[in-house]
Amino acid sequence: MADIVSERYAQSLYEVAKDEKQEKEYLEELTAVCGAFRENPDFLKLLTTPSIAFEDKQNVLKTVFEGKIRPFVLNFLMLTTEKGRIGLIHEMREAYKEQYYFENNIAEVCAVTAVPMSDALRDRLKNKMQAVTGRQVVLETSVDPEIIGGIVVKVNNEQFDTSLRTRLSEIAARLTNTIA
């Protein structure tokens, strides 16, 4: 969950994006920027290092992002760097995404399975979750062989766990309580 500073910066960026009717595009660009920082942690470290002059940081930002992202998103990066808040960029992106999803009636659903899901199963799950939530669904999937089988679905702050690992753990706990 984003803190108040991140939320305020994200809200300001969102308001500009909304005025320009480009909320989704800003989200995509902010996501790409965060991806670049995730892939190159030293890049973000450089921007948060106090001993490096702001002008140098500004030049680096321009060199890397100018022409690849909208000018206002680049200005946003420069402002957050100047104010010493660029280290919160991932939280700002998350707060922006939450606002975008809220205003566009979108639910983020994360599904974890033991093996990759087929496209048909992904579509069925997405349709089922849209029916359950009454919202448009963005489905994120991942694989975790340790769940053995079944599925773990997270929607907002709720988790539905029908994994075989959880079922086996529940049976083991019941047997332990029965024997003890």
Find out whether 97 and 7 touch, Cβ atoms under 8 Å: no
User: d(Cα 138, Cα 133) in Å, to the nearest integer?
Assistant: 12
Please tell me the class of the 4-101 domain: mainly alpha
Kindly tell me if the per-residue pLDDT of 158 is higher than 90.
no
Establish whether domains 4-101 and 106-179 are of one fold: no
Tell me the domain boundaries of the chain. Answer: 4-101, 106-179
Q: Is the pLDDT of residue 1 over 50?
A: no
H or E stretch covering 40 = none
Token pair 């991942």 in the structure block, residue: 142
Could you report the per-residue pLDDT of 61-95, keeping only the tens digit for each?
A: 999 999 999 999 999 999 999 999 999 999 999 99
CATH class, 106-179 region: alpha beta
Strands 106-113, 151-155: pairing is: antiparallel
- Tell me what pLDDT residue 172 has: 82
Q: How far is CA 2 from CA 6, 88, 122, in A?
A: 6, 9, 29
pLDDT in tens, 13-59: 999 999 999 999 999 999 999 999 999 999 999 999 999 999 999 99
- The yes-or-no verdict on residue 171 having pLDDT over 90 is no
pLDDT band at 120 (very low <50, low <70, confident <90, very high): very high
Q: What is the pLDDT of residue 13?
A: 96
